[in-house]
Amino acid sequence: MRKSELRLVAAFRREVYDWRLWLERTVVVSAAVVAGLTVVGFTWLCEWTLSLFHRLEGAHAWSPLLWTPLCLATVVWLTRRYVPRIAGSGIPQVMAALDPACSADQRSGFVSMKLTLAKIPLTALGLLGGLSLGREGPSVQIAAGVMHAARRWLPARSSVTPQGLLLAGGAAGIAAAFNTPLAGVMFAIEELSRSPEQRNSGIVVAAIVLAGLVAVSIDGNGTYFGVIHVGTIDTSLLWPGLLTALASGAAGGLFARLVIASLSGKSRDVFTRWRHARPVVFAAGCGLALALIGLVNQGSTFGSGYGYTRTMLDGRAVAPPEFALFKFIATWITTWSGAPAGIFAPSLSIGAAIGNDIGLLTHHAPVVLMALGMAGFLAAATQAPLTAFIIVMEMVDGHAMVLSLMASAYIASGVARMLSKPLYPSLALQYLAQLPPAQTPQTPQTPRPPPPAAPADPPPADPPFLPPDISPPRS
């Protein structure tokens, strides 16, 4: 047998007969299924709580003035009191846990089953209060916590690292939240991964796809915002499409800049000082502002924006020109309040509204421009153009807009880079900066023997013997 054939047989036997590999695969696959089911259950809970809020708002139009501040203050109090690391999206926490500077003990402070079990009800409670938040970012931290908990069942010297489990869990959260396994894989490559080894792990990719397939098998092969029917696309949409990409990129870059500046706490304005001194009261004030914005807009800014945006895409509603601005402000205030809140769904809603406004301004097909705005604003806010492009592409009927969506995502992302640093890496650095400095273990110092004493100075030597001067006698 040749050496190449021998190596092939050895590799085959190792893949088939090594029980450690089969245990490793079983653990990862089972954890991926549990993560997908967890995200599906989380999705149902969020949709149910948001529907309860809309029922309350429909029955008593002024109830959000009391209910929204109360819910937001309660969420922020519980978060700061018991689980401060679940505030915000959840994606920066997973990125911080994946950072090489984060030790194993510190990693559990960002991602764990405890945080998963806390983030699910508190995010749902935020939607029960009508906050402008999405469930997709929280799904990343939730699924990552499930996958990270599976590390204890892996065999010793497993090829799947804790970082690989976190990567698979975070991307599985996106795949299950949007019913798009491809978007989950791309999100892992574009946002979460930090080394080629993580990107090329077949079992990690399989876990991401499996979690997405679990969501698809339960919820059906339907996209998050429905199907966008775009019709015929011609060159007349070139300039309106370019304007949509530029506008959504500028708006997304400004949004990322505002969020980074607000959450850094370095500003000395009165609101930042209020947030530091009285965070729960500040959250109640944010809730009151959200309630007022929602009442002014007939309730369209409450919640994730999913239902209202879907009616716009279906042609059953036309958003007023100011909706994009008010949804922008409501999403920023929700994030600034300190509640667990994602931005994916609100970003898609804001982008669709920007496209709708440009369509009304230029008298062109608003549905096409709404799709371009969705890809553009999401790419600009998250600095993840490929993920944004794939998420929106899955919604479009047919392949007529593939290149247009990709161009819009990359143009908007390029504009946003000129206005702001990348959102999630910047927030992850803020979390890492809060960690105590790593302490290197100090080995006990053995006492050194004292240096040998210097020898005493030798006594002075006798002068050398000199023969007497013998001179010839004088005559």
What HEC string does 162-202 produce? Answer: HHHHHHHHHHHHHHHHHCCHHHHHHHHHHHHCCCHHHHCCH
Place of tokens 């926490």: 93
> pLDDT tens, 108-118?
899 999 999 99
Most confident region among 61-70, 259-268, 356-365 by mean pLDDT: 61-70
Question: What are the tens digits of pLDDT across the range 128-182?
Answer: 999 999 999 999 999 999 999 998 888 877 778 888 889 889 988 998 888 777 8
Q: Which ranges in 220-278 belong to alpha helices (H)?
A: 238-264, 270-277
pLDDT at 471: 47
Q: Would you give the end-to-end CA distance of the chain in angstroms?
A: 116
H/E stretch holding 9 reads helix 3-17
Per the prediction, the chain carries an average pLDDT of 85
Least confident among 131-135, 168-172, 237-241, 394-398: 394-398
What residue spans of 83-112 are helical by DSSP H? Answer: 91-98, 104-107
Kindly state the percentage of the chain with pLDDT values over 90: 55
Highest mean pLDDT among 2-16, 81-95, 227-241: 81-95
The per-residue pLDDT for range 187-230, each reduced to its tens digit, is: 888 888 755 444 446 777 888 888 888 887 787 665 566 677 77
- State residue 5's pLDDT score: 58
